[in-house]
Homo-oligomer: A and B are copies of this chain.
Amino acid sequence: MAKQERAVRTRRLILEAAGAVFDEFGYESTTIAQILARAGVTKGALYFHFASKEELARGVLDQALTLEGILPQESRLQEWVDVGMVLAHRLPAEPLLSASVRLSADRKARDLFGTSWPAWIDFIAGQLAEAKAQGEVLPHVDPGATATLFVGAWTGVEILATAHDESGALEKRIALLYDTFLPGIAVPGALRNLDTSPDRGARVWKLHQAQHHARQEEAAAATA
């Protein structure tokens, strides 16, 4: 493995450990020693990448809003559904995502670093505004207020689902969140064609991974 690639992996390993420990104990109670123990790296390696607990938390939050995996769709509402469903699919398996939700909800961490919410709200407000421009959204719906509401609701539904820990619970509950929100947001014609089944996130993510892999192979073949 090239030296640089190894550094990238170590950095990610440390962030994942930090995410898991922040997630479990909260920002304030977490110590660097706990993160070191979880990551299984040396103190030198950790401090090479991150000077302090604050920097570790910022690193986790920077990974937060990943919109990777959203494929373009004719319906902007379907893309909005896909954002929340792909995240619901990925979160239980990715400690960095779940830690960033937790850090945003942690009052102490939030006062220090802000949250990943504003970027997420802006993104969804943009999707809803585009959906409205192409006639998919009811006239009285305010894209900004609805995006803020949705990000809050998504976050709370995730917190409760994680607290109760059934497998697949998050995808089912987020699917129900969309099914409950959509009749208040979408025009009936747009509603009919939306796919909000609980496995939507898994399918979109799998397709995205396959396309990503194919592009990588193509690039490798081109340089061979």
Q: Oligomeric state, in number of copies?
A: 2
Q: Mark A128-164, 1 if CB is under 8 A from B, else 0.
A: 0000000000000000011011011111111111010
State whether the Cβ of A180 lies closer than 8 Å to any Cβ in chain B: yes
Within 8 A of B (CB), among A56-108: 102, 104-108
Within 8 A of B (CB), among A153-179: 153-161, 163, 173, 176-177, 179
State whether the Cβ of A110 lies closer than 8 Å to any Cβ in chain B: yes
Interface size on A, residues (CB 8 A): 42
State whether the Cβ of A182 lies closer than 8 Å to any Cβ in chain B: yes
Check B108–A105 contact: CB distance below 8 A.
no
Q: Which residues of B contact A184 (CB under 8 A)?
A: 179-184
Closest B residue, CB atoms, query A151: B160
The 8 closest A-B pairs by CB, nearest first: A156-B156, A153-B153, A152-B157, A152-B160, A155-B156, A28-B29, A183-B184, A180-B184
